[in-house]
Structures are given as structure tokens and as C-alpha cells.
Amino acid sequence: MLRLVPNDGKELVEFSRSKEVSGGADLKVVNWGAKGIESSKYARVVPGDTIQTFRNFVSAIVSHQVKNRMHRDGLLVLFDEFDVIPSKGGLGSLIKSLTSKNLKFGVCGIGHDLMDLVKDHGSVERLLEQGAIHVKPMSKYESIAIIERAEELFKGKMTFSQQAKEQIAQAAEGYPYFVQLLGKECVAKANELGKNCVDNVVYTAVMEDIQKGRSFPTLERSYQRAIGSSEDRQLLLHLLADQPEEETLFDEDVGRIFLKKARKDAEELDINYIDQLIPRLLDSNFGPALARVPENPGIYDFVNPVFRLYVRLRQF
């Protein structure tokens, strides 16, 4: 499914499949607007050939929708969370062959370097290098703006105290997704307590639930899978999560961690055999919680930076 939303926000265009043609299916465009619902055929699905289907699809969008109906110059296709795609084979070549003055691609993702995102076509990496934009964590004021927008949507039925807004923004450390998670949890707690304002009482209750593993079941399951039944591994995970984040060129927001910096603290806490505790944290069968930085032995990243924030808030 692909959606195009014009600047005025009045028309939502959604492409879907329709089995009206024998021997295959057509991709159709449905417009929701003041005139009701319209439907027009644009591109043929090629059975068993996803790449050619995508080519037909994009070509039809640019010709019929972008230029003729929207009167725009071109189309930008964004691949969000590109780093989580398990197999990227062929995507680099596809992007390279389709890129033109009328069609551009944007790749959003977290990686150690650009080659982690696109590996199958070297020239694509050069294109990404030229147009790479490092997205830093949101500022406190931007995070608070997310909450204030939610207040507007609640239309006075639920509000946040200024103190609660700042506490949520500080705990989220610039990650908008965690702002949303904390905000949603605070609203649920306020409803549970019969309050229509998220204040310090509500926020404190939410933090207590997080510390005891009673909130965010998905993150809590990841936490339990990572530590297993080992208290030493649990403590090591907390030591790694609390380590000050290192600044790097492209992914300073991810936060690289250095095992050698954790060894001294681990020894003081009587954590032995660290090298035997680390493998589970790297094992995909249990997460993984961490990923090695290939070019630098002993240096790791948290695969999910939001999980790192959760570990920091979770009580040992």
C-alpha cells in the first residue's frame, strides 16, 4: 500500500489491488475527497514478479497521478525503518535503475554506516553519502510539542501539567516514539485513577509501574528474554545501558557502548565471566539486545535505542 497526501491535506490517495482483470490484478487508486469516492486503474500486477510490478506501479503514479492530477514535478518514495528489512538484496539496484529527475528515493534507518543500509550496489552508497542527513534526537521543546498536540486532540478532556510534560520529555531523551509510549501510558493511568489531568502523581505511578515491569509488555518481554535467569547478566545489561553515549559521525543518537568500560564496574559488583554473559545479549533467539560494531571489537550498539531507555528506567 502506498499513500500520497497533498499539502492541503484534503485528499487522501490510496492504492490497492483489485482482481477485475483475468490473468492478474490491477493496482487501483482511490480518492477520498469532496466529490466522494472515485476509482481508476493505473498499473498491472505482474504475477510472480514483484520488481516489475513495482516498476509499473511507480511509473503509473508519476505519469497519471503526480503529473496529471496533482500537477507536481516528481515523486519521493520513502523507505522508513529500512534497517529492519531482513533481506535487502536487489533493492540497491532497483533504486539505482529507477532514480530519475521525476522519481527520487529516501532511505530512513539506523546503521553503523551507509553500507549497512544498501549493500548490493556501490554507486547507491555514493548517492546516499552525498545526500545523507543525520537525524539527531529531538529537543526537549520538540518532545513537549508532541504532548501539546495530543492535548489539542483531546479537546480539554485530558491535559498534562507542565511538570509532567517536562518529565516525559526528559525521560524520552529525544525519541518521539518513547514520548508517545510514555504519554499513552500516563493517559491510561490517569483514567485508571479517575483524573483528567496527567500530573506528577500520575507520572510517578507510571514510573513505578515501569520500574517493576508492569508497563510496556513488549519491552518487558524483550528485557526478560535478554537477561534469562541470570542476575549477573541482568546487572551487566543495566551497566551497559547506563554507560554514557559516545558521539559518532552518523549514529551518535544510537549510543555505542564499550565493554572494556563496563569491566571495572562489573568487577566491583562481583560480576564474573562477562565474556560468557554477553553472547545471549547478541543472540537473535533472545532479541538480540546488542549488536557488534564489526570494525571495532569490544564495541556494541543497542539494537533498539528505545529498549536501552527502558532498561535505564527498569528497576534492577
pLDDT for 115-153, tens place per residue? 655 665 566 666 665 666 677 789 999 999 999 999 999
Q: State whether 8 and 112 are in the same domain.
A: yes
Do residues 20 and 123 both lie within one domain? yes
The answer to which of 126-130, 237-241, 276-280, 312-316 has the lowest mean pLDDT is: 126-130
Single out the residue in 98, 131, 164 at which a domain terminates. 131
The CA distance from 4 to 11, in Å, is 9
In three-state secondary structure terms, 144 is helix
Q: At 30, is the secondary structure helix, strand, or coil?
A: strand
Total domains in the fold of the chain: 3
pLDDT, tens digit (0-9, with 9 covering 90-100), for 194-235: 999 999 999 999 999 999 999 999 999 999 999 999 999 999
Q: What mean pLDDT is predicted for residues 241-267?
A: 69
The domain that contains 307 carries what CATH number?
A: 1.10.10
Shared-domain flag, residues 34 and 16: yes
Residues 200 and 108 both lie in one domain: no
Is 63 found in the same domain as 24? yes
Q: Which residue has the higher pLDDT, 134 or 247?
A: 134
Mark which of 78, 110, 131 sits at the end of a domain.
131
* Cβ neighbours for 270, distance < 8 A, ≥ 6 positions apart: none
Domain of 171 in residue numbering reads as 140-211
Same domain, 15 and 122: yes
Q: Are 53 and 45 in contact (CB under 8 A)?
A: yes
- Do 237 and 304 fall into the same domain? yes
User: What pLDDT is recorded for position 110?
Assistant: 66
Q: Are residues 146 and 39 part of one domain?
A: no
Give every CB contact of residue 178 below 8 A, 6+ residues apart in sequence.
Answer: 171, 172, 306, 309
Mean pLDDT of 24-53: 57
pTM over 0.75: no
Q: Pick the last residue of a domain from 103, 131, 159.
A: 131
Same domain, 288 and 179: no
